[in-house]
Amino acid sequence: MMRAAWLLAAVFLACPALAEPPLEVERKAAPAKARPAPKAKAQVRPAWAELTAEQQQILAPLKADWESLEPERRRKWIGVAKRYAKMTPQGQERVQRRMQVWAKLTPEQRRQARETYKQIVKAPPEKRQRLREQWAEYQQLPPQERENLVAPVERKRR
């Protein structure tokens, strides 16, 4: 049962990661002698103010964190905003929910979600299918039972 709870928690944390693709593999650092002197941090573009009104409306849950996002993350979220109009109403609602959940996560929780997502993507198809089935079972549980499964896992993390 505990293993199932852990697995469900990992899948639950990975769901927001589906809205944001995993981080690239870290680039190898240049040798110390080849590094240029540190410069003042350049403005990463596009800034929130440079987004269209439509993009700002779609990406509103990310506004507070926008300036701290890396350029690649910004491009990916802008890509989500571009596809948004073509999504079904249910798809749009799902993206908004996931974006709101993602925005509420701490940087550590986001990192963990990305790592979990990477592990799930690398898993063999049969294991991914088993996870999908377990996730479907979890979603069919009444809210109180879900809370009972997730709460012990969250308490252990603290």
Per-residue pLDDT at 92 exceeds 50: yes
Which sequence spans correspond to the domains of the chain? 2-20+46-157
Judged on CB neighbours under 10 Å (0-12, 13-18, 19+), 30 is exposed
Q: What is the mean pLDDT of residues 70-96?
A: 93
Q: How far apart are CA 76 and CA 55, in angstroms?
A: 12
What is the DSSP-derived secondary structure letter of residue 8? H
Query: What is the pTM (predicted TM-score) of this model?
Result: 0.56
Own/partner pairs for 28-32, CB < 8 Å, 24+ apart?
Answer: none
Please tell me the predicted confidence (pLDDT) of residue 103: 86
Please tell me the predicted confidence (pLDDT) of residue 10: 52
Sequence-distant (6+) residues with CB within 8 A of 80 are 19, 58, 59, 95
Please tell me the predicted confidence (pLDDT) of residue 59: 94
Q: How far apart are CA 153 and CA 5, in angstroms?
A: 7
Q: What is the pLDDT of residues 9-49, one digit of tens each?
A: 454 545 444 444 443 434 444 455 555 544 445 566 889 99
Q: What is the mean pLDDT of residues 137-141?
A: 91
Average pLDDT of the chain to the nearest whole number: 77
